[in-house]
């Protein structure tokens, strides 16, 4: 029975959860689950996993835009039908993986992937994203879909990935470099543990839509939303209930705007990019660590965000030349010292980079172990 | 002929990385989506944002499907007259299968369904892991949900103050490091808590993520309120012949991950033994020894010599709680809570633990207070109390340095009630 708009709850099915993953596993994966012995990266973007049964699975990893049309998904299906018995998978970092069960199927698959380009010339399926290189950028919605962003997401990602494209298709860095983007401090992208994080920030306190705020918002919720207690009740000259923001206490987190649509803070000059570096998630050698703010603000520069791209390229280049094998960006910065990091990368160190929020003291230096 | 002029976005069609602009354009030109103008108008409004350097999307309205409080995010643009195709542009979160494997049949079904009910644009995938259908109008929501559940046997994911769609790494399906079945754990925990996922009853969002090993490919330690990270307790299995093959240069170290640059010959002393954070390994030229008791499972040696070293056989997971992004008290990573738990069907121990945590958080948590913030506000001691766990030195990096201990009365001999007159018999005023 098709949907009946006059009786929307008829035959309703709810709470059935996702489809069971097992039906989507390619046979070679299903047959060898839990039996894998080891893997090798044969070339950038191409992995082989070997099972104790003797089976092998070859994976070709390609970068994708997470903002993707169904026409594009159908093209991926066509490729998977042609080469991969009708299966594929996506990775946590927006890559797509095409898997085949024998080595002779790898080259035809790769040739096919490499041959496909968009009309204006960009690659549809760039191969790479493995090992000691840059893999795809995880990111958020930006100006394509979100109400709180300080920056775009997809466009910045495109510009940055064009800038460091060679590192996606090679493995010549000291260790993996994970780049992430979140278009505001809400961080749907949770970029706070990335080697390089591109973060949208605001620098102007919220405006207040005095005529409408009491109709649109629960005023006490907006007041309570402020972590620095900068918002208090007020009255307009005409006697309407409204709010007032003590601007010098605002740290531009945008939490009030999340609670109240009548307090917009995005601005063409006020909003832009901050760069954080040195975070990691893996426990390998050193513990997981947070990314640190090393560039407090870069203006929005659509369409190609030139300064952001240049700064990231420079950080990657300096790191690539100076770090030791296996050393993640944050481990390198800690070994040489943050004073050296700023010297080598030629980035200015300003007071904006010294923490003055909740855990500030834990990041100040209590020692005379310093470099000159 | 394009509907809107987009000179700035056009510049994002050049360069080698896939262009999302070209992709949206091909959907606009070739696609048969029911909301015909949506891709063109999305490009139009995005171009306007590129000119103005601010977003043109408004706060979400309350939209959804009957009986659910999550899964759909209302979205409206602030220039509906100029861009009617995206005037109403709601997001639908569709719960992805564990590890994001797909058959092309299922993917095509999803595409067909989205063509019938929306813009033809997606995110594969959203940050939390869902399949995102990007942009439709309110009148399509119920029919889409009906078709999704009836025809595709597929449910929505989470949004708002509820359990968000859980996610896992690819685990045992294609990785030799997985210490438990992340896919099965993720699937079963998702199904167990469908009510929590669809009907917001929490102070704020709550995320589960399942990492198969301490490499943490699904970022659970940074991105989930409850992080389940695979680990083993016994010995790393060593194939001494393969170790020699690495040392002799017959096998490429690190599974070939550094192959594009000449780092010189593999030096096991420098690259493995000396980099081991606990110094628990030694190599005498013919035999590799590991003092497993001192090993902290950092994965470096296994990552570097995957054909010689394998994870142990007494496997399970460490459970950590409290990670979150900066909003509001600052970013947090998860804190180690249960050093080891067997993660096996029916996952009862894990369920029992999470339900204790939720009961406390739902009782004590303030509006929009993440679990990690509540733990900080009420103390780790309180968290131990409600989870009924014993303190363990593995929960901290170091013991406290301040001596301000909140002793409880029952911990102090004789209690706290004293008689000042008895005191005065020995001590003059």
Query: Which residues sit opposite B320 in a β-bridge?
Result: B227, B336
Per the CB < 8 Å rule, is B103 touching A154?
Answer: no
- Which residue among B89, B114, B263 places its CB closest to the CB of A325? B263
Chain B interface test: which of A35, A72, A175, A186 (most B C-beta within 10 Å): A72
pLDDT of residue B60: 78
Give how far the C-alpha of residue B294 lies from the chain's centroid of Cα atoms, to the nearest Å: 29
Label residue A41 by pLDDT band (50, 70, 90). Answer: very high
- Which residue among B154, B258, B275 places its CB closest to the CB of A19? B154
Rg (CA), chain B: 27
Spatial distance between the Cα atoms of B16 and A14, rounded to a whole number of angstroms = 43
Contacts of B101 in chain A (CB under 8 A): 21, 24-26, 29, 87-89
CATH 1.20.1250.20 fits B167-232+316-395, yes or no: no
pLDDT of residue B61: 77
Mean pLDDT of B246-270: 96
Per the CB < 8 Å rule, is B367 touching A224?
Answer: yes
Label residue A359 by pLDDT band (50, 70, 90). Answer: confident
Mean pLDDT of B417-428: 97
pLDDT of residue B327: 87
Phi, psi values for residue B300, rounded to 5°: -60, -45
Q: Distance from B246 to chain A by nearest Cα, in Å?
A: 13
pLDDT of residue A187: 85
Mean pLDDT of B83-88: 98
Mean pLDDT of B141-156: 97
CATH topology for the B7-15+22-151 domain? Alpha-Beta Plaits (3.30.70)
**How many C-beta atoms surround the C-beta of residue B10 within 10 A?**
18
- Write the DSSP assignment of B253-272 as a string of letters: GGGGTTTTS---S--HIIII
Per the CB < 8 Å rule, is B307 touching A266?
Answer: no
Q: Distance from A88 to chain B by nearest Cα, in Å?
A: 6
pLDDT of residue A8: 87
pLDDT of residue B42: 98
Spatial distance between the Cα atoms of A329 and A196, rounded to a whole number of angstroms = 8
- Which residue among B15, B50, B54 places its CB closest to the CB of A267? B54
Kindly give the interhelix angle for B104-117 and B141-151, rounded to the nearest 10 degrees: 160
Q: Where are the domains of chain B?
A: 7-15+22-151, 167-232+316-395, 237-310
- For residue range B293-302, list pLDDT tens digits in order: 999 999 999 9
Per the CB < 8 Å rule, is A14 touching B258?
Answer: no
Q: Does the pLDDT at position B1 exceed 80? A: no
Q: Does the pLDDT at position B329 exceed 90? A: no
Length of chain B: 429
Q: Is the pTM of this model over 0.95?
A: yes
Burial of B371 (0-12, 13-18, 19+ CB in 10 A): buried
Domain B237-310 CATH class label: alpha beta
Mean pLDDT of A33-45: 97
Q: Distance from B329 to chain A by nearest Cα, in Å?
A: 7
pLDDT of residue A318: 98
Spatial distance between the Cα atoms of B32 and B36, rounded to a whole number of angstroms = 7
**And the tokens for B231?**
């680990």
- CB of B36 within 8 Å of a chain A CB? The answer is no
Mean pLDDT of B174-178: 98
Q: Distance from B40 to chain A by nearest Cα, in Å?
A: 12
User: Is-contact A271 A185, C-beta < 8 A?
Assistant: no
Give how far the C-alpha of residue A170 lies from the chain's centroid of Cα atoms, to the nearest Å: 20
pLDDT of residue B22: 98
Average pLDDT, chain B: 97
Mean pLDDT of B81-90: 97
Nearest to B204 by CA among B376, B372, B383: B372
pLDDT of residue A186: 86
- For residue range A225-283, list pLDDT tens digits in order: 999 999 999 999 999 999 999 999 999 999 999 999 999 999 999 999 999 999 999 99
Contacts of B205 in chain A (CB under 8 A): none
Per the CB < 8 Å rule, is B215 touching A283?
Answer: yes
Mean pLDDT of B218-229: 97
Per the CB < 8 Å rule, is B259 touching A171?
Answer: yes
Length of chain A: 372
Label residue B159 by pLDDT band (50, 70, 90). Answer: very high
**How many C-beta atoms surround the C-beta of residue B66 within 10 A?**
11
| Sequence-ordered strand ranges (E) for chain A | 36-43, 46-51, 56-63, 67-69, 87-90, 95-100, 179-182, 196-201, 231-235, 241-245, 272-277, 292-299
Q: Which residue of A has its CA nearest to B277?
A: A285
- Which residue among B104, B221, B300 places its CB closest to the CB of A284? B300
- For residue range A102-141, list pLDDT tens digits in order: 999 999 999 999 999 999 999 999 999 999 999 999 999 9
Per the CB < 8 Å rule, is B95 touching A18?
Answer: yes
Mean pLDDT of A142-151: 97
Q: Calculate what percentage of chain A has a pLDDT beyond 70.
A: 100
pLDDT of residue A50: 98
Which one is predicted more confidently, A187 or B362?
B362
pLDDT of residue B23: 98
pLDDT of residue B20: 98
**How many C-beta atoms surround the C-beta of residue B346 within 10 A?**
9
Structural element, H or E, at residue B124: strand B121-124
pLDDT of residue A2: 86
Q: Which of residues 97-116 of A touch B (CB under 8 A)?
A: none
- CB of A302 within 8 Å of a chain B CB? The answer is yes
Q: Where would I find the H helices in chain A?
A: 27-32, 70-83, 106-115, 154-163, 165-168, 213-216, 219-225, 255-259, 306-322, 329-336, 338-345
pLDDT of residue A188: 80
Is B237-310 the same fold as B7-15+22-151? Answer: yes
The Cα-based distances of B146 to A8, B65, B153, B154 in angstroms read 8, 10, 10, 10
User: Is-contact B209 B274, C-beta < 8 A?
Assistant: no
Average pLDDT, chain A: 96
pLDDT of residue B270: 97
Label residue A190 by pLDDT band (50, 70, 90). Answer: confident
Spatial distance between the Cα atoms of B332 and B373, rounded to a whole number of angstroms = 9
């Amino acid at each position: 029975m098709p949907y009946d708009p006059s009786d929307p709850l008829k035959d309703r099915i709810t709470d059935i959860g996702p489809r069971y993953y097992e039906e989507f596993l390619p046979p070679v994966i299903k047959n060898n689950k839990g039996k894998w012995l080891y893997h090798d990266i044969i070339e950038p973007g191409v992995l082989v996993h070997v099972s104790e049964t003797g089976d092998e699975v070859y994976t070709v990893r390609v970068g994708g835009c997470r903002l993707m049309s169904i026409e594009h998904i159908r093209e991926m299906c066509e490729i998977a039908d042609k080469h991969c018995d009708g299966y594929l998978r996506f990775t946590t970092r927006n890559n797509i993986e095409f898997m085949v069960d024998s080595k002779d199927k790898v080259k035809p698959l790769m040739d096919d992937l490499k041959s496909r380009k968009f009309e204006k010339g960009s690659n549809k399926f760039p191969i790479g994203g493995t090992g000691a290189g840059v893999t795809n950028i995880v990111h958020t919605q930006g100006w394509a879909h979100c109400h709180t962003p300080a920056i775009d997401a997809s466009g910045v990602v495109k510009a940055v990935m064009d800038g460091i494209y060679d590192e996606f298709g090679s493995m010549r860095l000291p260790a993996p470099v994970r780049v992430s983007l979140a278009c505001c401090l809400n961080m749907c992208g949770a970029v706070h543990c990335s080697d390089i994080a591109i973060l949208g920030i605001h620098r102007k306190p919220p405006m207040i839509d005095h005529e409408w705020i009491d109709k649109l918002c629960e005023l006490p919720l907006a007041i309570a939303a402020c972590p620095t207690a900068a918002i208090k009740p007020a009255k307009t000259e005409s006697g309407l209930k409204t709010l007032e923001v003590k601007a010098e206490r605002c740290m531009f987190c945008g939490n009030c705007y999340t609670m109240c649509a009548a307090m917009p803070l995005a601005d063409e000059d006020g909003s832009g990019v901050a760069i954080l570096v040195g975070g990691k998630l893996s426990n390998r050698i050193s513990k997981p660590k947070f990314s640190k703010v090393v560039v407090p603000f870069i203006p929005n520069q659509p369409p190609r965000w030139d300064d952001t791209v240049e700064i990231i390229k420079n950080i990657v280049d300096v790191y690539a030349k100076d770090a030791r094998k296996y050393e993640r960006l944050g481990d390198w910065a800690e070994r040489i010292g943050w004073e050296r990091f700023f010297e080598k990368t030629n980035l200015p160190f300003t007071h904006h980079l010294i923490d003055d929020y909740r855990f500030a003291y834990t990041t100040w230096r209590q020692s005379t172990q310093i470099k000159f | 002929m394009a509907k809107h002029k987009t000179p700035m976005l056009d510049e994002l069609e050049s360069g080698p990385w896939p262009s999302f602009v070209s992709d949206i354009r091909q959907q606009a030109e070739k696609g048969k989506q029911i909301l015909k103008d949506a891709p063109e108008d999305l490009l139009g409004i995005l171009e306007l944002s590129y000119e103005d350097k601010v977003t043109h999307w408004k706060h979400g309205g309350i939209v959804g499907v009957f009986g659910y409080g999550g899964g759909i995010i209302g979205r409206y643009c602030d220039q509906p007259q100029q861009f009617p195709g995206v005037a109403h542009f709601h997001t639908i979160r569709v719960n992805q299968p564990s590890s994001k494997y797909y058959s092309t049949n299922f993917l095509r079904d999803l595409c067909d369904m989205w063509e019938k009910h929306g813009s033809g644009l997606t995110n594969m995938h959203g940050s939390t892991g869902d399949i995102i259908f990007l942009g439709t109008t309110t009148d399509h929501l119920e029919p889409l949900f009906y078709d999704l559940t009836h025809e595709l046997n597929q449910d929505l994911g989470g949004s708002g103050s509820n359990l968000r769609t859980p996610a896992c790494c690819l685990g045992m399906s294609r990785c030799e490091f997985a210490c438990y079945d992340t896919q099965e754990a993720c699937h079963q925990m998702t199904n167990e808590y469908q009510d929590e996922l669809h009907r917001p009853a929490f102070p704020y969002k709550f995320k589960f993520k399942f990492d198969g090993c301490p490499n943490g490919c699904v970022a659970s330690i940074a991105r989930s309120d409850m992080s389940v990270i695979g680990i083993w307790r016994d010995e790393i299995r060593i194939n001494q012949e393969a170790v020699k093959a690495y040392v002799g240069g017959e096998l490429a170290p690190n599974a070939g991950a550094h192959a594009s640059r000449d780092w010189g010959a593999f030096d096991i002393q420098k690259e493995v033994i000396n980099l081991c954070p606990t110094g628990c390994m030694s190599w005498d030229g013919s035999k590799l020894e590991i003092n497993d008791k001192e090993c902290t499972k950092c994965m470096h040696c296994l990552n570097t010599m995957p054909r010689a070293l394998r994870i142990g056989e007494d496997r399970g997971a460490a459970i950590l709680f409290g990670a979150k992004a900066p909003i509001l008290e600052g970013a947090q990573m998860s804190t180690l809570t249960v050093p080891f738990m067997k993660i096996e069907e029916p996952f009862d121990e894990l369920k029992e633990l999470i339900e204790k945590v939720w009961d406390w958080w739902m009782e004590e948590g303030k509006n929009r207070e993440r679990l990690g913030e509540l733990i900080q506000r009420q103390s780790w001691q309180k968290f131990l109390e409600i989870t009924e766990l014993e303190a363990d030195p593995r929960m901290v990096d170091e013991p406290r340095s301040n001596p301000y201990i909140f002793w409880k009365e029952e911990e102090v001999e004789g209690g706290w009630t004293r008689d000042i007159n008895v005191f005065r018999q020995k001590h003059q005023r």
